[in-house]
């Protein structure tokens, strides 16, 4: 896994193994990598986030991630994340987030969430001018309170900011954007992979899908074949126990 994913450190590899049902300490992963002559990439410095309480299941966060095409045209992708499950969604991609586009994007969010939207109590967003006066009423009409983060305080919307940082590191910084259609397709594919197969420490190293259904049964991976699936030409990989 380390050779196939050079950006993964020992903790990221540990996450993937735990997701597959193989309980292994990060120190053991470090020892295996070190013995194999593979550099166990250091963990990024910075504070860790405590596991959210049950109130998190009623919180939705939303923000823009911008990407630039090879012709230096800036595109805006509206990304949202459910705090409780860490499921991420894309509401749309555009070069011009107009009032009409933002209104439709808000409707798309509620349609995408479907039944889960009924459990939402709050929406966290920043004070960006792209969030027009037609955006908030779509949510408040559904009984969802709008919480605006303070100016220049990204940590007040930290979970969404972390997800956007992940998109930059694992996706956009590693690909060339030609037009508006490619990031839309790419985001849809990547977020499907993220929600189904990427483990999260805030979910006890389960994927968002596993967090809803329960952890896998413990498994000794020496007794099974591990199947690798490439996503988006190999930018991320998925690992599963072969049937």
Whether the pLDDT of residue 40 is over 70: the answer is no
Structure tokens at 14: 């540990």
86-115: average pLDDT: 93
Where in the chain are the domains?
10-46+201-241, 58-197
Whether the pLDDT of residue 65 is over 80: the answer is yes
Residue written as tokens 């966060």? Answer: 61
Min mean pLDDT across 54-68, 134-148, 184-198 is at: 54-68
B/e letters for 27-59, b = 16+ CB within 10 Å, e = fewer, are eebbeebeeeeeebbeeeeeeeeeeeeeeeeeb
- pLDDT tens, residue by residue, 151-160: 888 888 999 9
Phi, psi of 12 (to 5 degrees): -65, -40
**Residue 1 pLDDT:** 87
Q: Going by C-beta distance under 8 Å and a sequence separation of 6 or more, which residues neighbour residue 76?
A: 64, 65, 66, 93, 94, 95, 97, 130
**CA 27, chain centre distance (Å):** 26
What superfamily in CATH does domain 58-197 come from?
Ribonuclease H-like superfamily/Ribonuclease H (3.30.420.10)
Min mean pLDDT across 21-35, 39-53, 67-81, 162-176 is at: 39-53
**CA 52, chain centre distance (Å):** 16
Q: Look at strands 122-125 and 145-148 and give their pairing.
A: parallel
Structure tokens at 77: 């992708």
Give the whole-angstrom CA distance, residue 154 versus residue 126: 8
Nearest by Cα to 175 from 239, 237, 234, 230: 234
Strand partners, 45: none
**Residue 50 pLDDT:** 46
Q: How many CB atoms neighbour CB 10 within 10 A?
A: 25
**Residue 45 pLDDT:** 41
Structure tokens at 163: 């997800």
- pLDDT tens, residue by residue, 191-230: 999 999 999 988 999 999 998 888 989 999 999 999 999 9
Residue % of the chain over a pLDDT of 70: 93
- pLDDT tens, residue by residue, 165-194: 999 999 999 998 988 888 999 999 999 999
Whether the pLDDT of residue 149 is over 70: the answer is yes
**Residue 52 pLDDT:** 42
Angle at 155 between CA 43 and CA 8, to 5 degrees: 20
């Amino acid at each position: 896994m380390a050779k196939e994913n050079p950006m993964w450190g020992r903790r990221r590899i540990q996450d993937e193994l735990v997701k597959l049902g193989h309980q292994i300490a990060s120190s053991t992963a470090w020892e295996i990598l070190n013995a194999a002559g593979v550099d166990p990439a250091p963990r990024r410095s910075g504070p860790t986030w405590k596991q959210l309480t049950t109130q998190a299941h009623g919180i939705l966060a939303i923000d823009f991630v911008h990407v630039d095409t090879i012709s230096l045209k800036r595109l805006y992708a509206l990304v949202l994340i459910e705090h409780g499950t860490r499921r991420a969604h894309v509401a749309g991609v555009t070069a011009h987030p107009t009032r009409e586009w933002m209104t439709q994007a808000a409707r798309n969010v509620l349609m995408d969430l479907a039944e889960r939207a009924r459990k939402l109590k709050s929406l966290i967003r920043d004070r960006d001018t792209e969030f027009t006066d037609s955006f908030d009423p779509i949510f408040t009409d559904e009984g969802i309170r709008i919480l605006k983060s303070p100016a220049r305080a990204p940590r007040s919307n930290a979970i969404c900011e972390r997800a956007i940082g992940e998109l930059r590191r694992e996706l956009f910084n590693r690909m060339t954007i030609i037009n508006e259609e490619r990031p839309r397709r790419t985001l849809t594919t990547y977020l499907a992979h993220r929600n189904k197969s990427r483990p999260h420490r805030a979910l006890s190293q389960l994927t968002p899908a596993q967090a809803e259904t329960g952890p896998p049964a413990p498994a000794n991976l020496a007794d099974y074949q591990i199947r690798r699936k490439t996503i988006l030409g190999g930018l991320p990989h998925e690992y599963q126990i072969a049937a």
